[in-house]
Structure 1
Amino acid sequence: MTNITIDKLEFEPFIDYSQIKKRIRLMGIDMSVKYADKNPVFIGVLNGCFMFMADLMKQIPIPCELSFVKLASYYGTQQEQIKELLGVGMDLTGRDVIVVEDIIDSGNSLRYTIDALERLHVNSIAVCTLLMKPLCLKHNFDNIMYVGFEIENEFVVGYGLDYNGQCRNLPDIYKNVGE
C-alpha cells in the first residue's frame, strides 16, 4: 500500500483489507450464533456501508433479510439535521434489526436511525459498525454491539468511505497524513 492524494490532501495506509476481513469474519461468527433462530433484518446505511455490508453478509450463513436506508445530513439554523432519503421498504414490526454502519463519529445519523426504527415497533436493535470514533460521540448508545475498529478522530477514506465522492472503491482504509 502506498500513499494516495485526493484534491491535494495526502492519505497514508491505515487498515489493510486483510485486517478488515479478519475482523468481519469474527463479527459474522458472533452474529450467526446470537441470531441463529431469529431471522434478523440487516439494515445498511448507504452509501458508505456497501462494501462492509457485502463482506459481512458473506459471513452470515443463517436465515436473514437485508435492506438499506439512505440518510443525508445538512446543517440547519444551529444544529445538524438528518433527513431520510430512502426508506427500508418492509414491515419491521417485532423484528430483530441489526443496523450496519461504515463509521460512527458524532452518532447523529445513528441516533436518527435508531429513533426511526423504534417508532416502527421492532423487537430489538443492535448496531454493527466497521469504524467508531468514541471520542467524537455526542450521544450515548447501549446497542452498539459490534465494532470492527475504534479509531481516533482521523479523516479516513477507502472501503466505502469517501472524500468528495472519491475512494469508496479502495479495498484498504487510508487516513489523512495531516490529521
Structure 2
Amino acid sequence: MCTTIKNFYHLFGSFLLFFIWSCSGPSTNNAGSEADATMESASEEERASPLKTTSGEIGDKSIKVQYGSPGIKGREIWDDLVPYEEVWRTGANEATYITLEEEVLIEGEPLAPGKYSLFTIPRANDPWTVIFNAEWDLEHGHFQYDEEKDVLRVEVTPTWANESQEWLSIEVVADGLEVKWEKLVLPITIE
C-alpha cells in the first residue's frame, strides 16, 4: 500500500511539473502573432542582462554572436561574481553562442561551420581558456555545460584597459572577437 501511494505521488508530482513547465515554457507554435512578438520584446527590455546580438565580417567570413550582457552594478567581477578557474558562460543567462557560415581559424586552430556555445575559464595571471562547445542552445548557460561536447579549446591572454566598461560586450572586429567588461579586454583571433 505504501509503495502504491509513493508511486502515485511521484507520478502526480511529475505530471504537475510537466504541466507547469508546458504552460510557462516557450511556445512551439511557429505561426506566432504580432501580440506574441510585442510581449517577447517587452520581456527582453525587462531583462537585468539584455540579450544582445552582434555580427560582422572577418575577411570574407560572416560571424554572428548572441549573448546576455550583464552590468557591473557596483559588484566585484573578477574572482567574485565570475570566479577564476571555473567555466563561465561568458555572458549572462543562457549560453553565449557563435554562428559561423564557413570554416575559420581560431587562434590558428580550425573550427568547422556551425553554431557553438562560447565558454571561458578566467584566470588571474595566466592565459584564459576559450571553449567552443557543440551544445549551443543551453537555456541555463554553464550550469548545463558538458566538457565532453567541447569542439575546440584555445588559450588567450587578456589585456586590461584604463577605463571601466559597465556592460559586457562582445564585438566582431577586423581580426576576431573582443570580449570587454569592467577593465578586461579578451581578444580572440579569428581568420
TM-score between both structures, scaled by the size of structure 1:
0.24
Select the structure with the greater relative contact order (CA < 8 A; seq sep ≥ 6).
Answer: 1
TM-score between both structures, scaled by the size of structure 2:
0.23
Larger radius of gyration, structure 1 or 2? 2
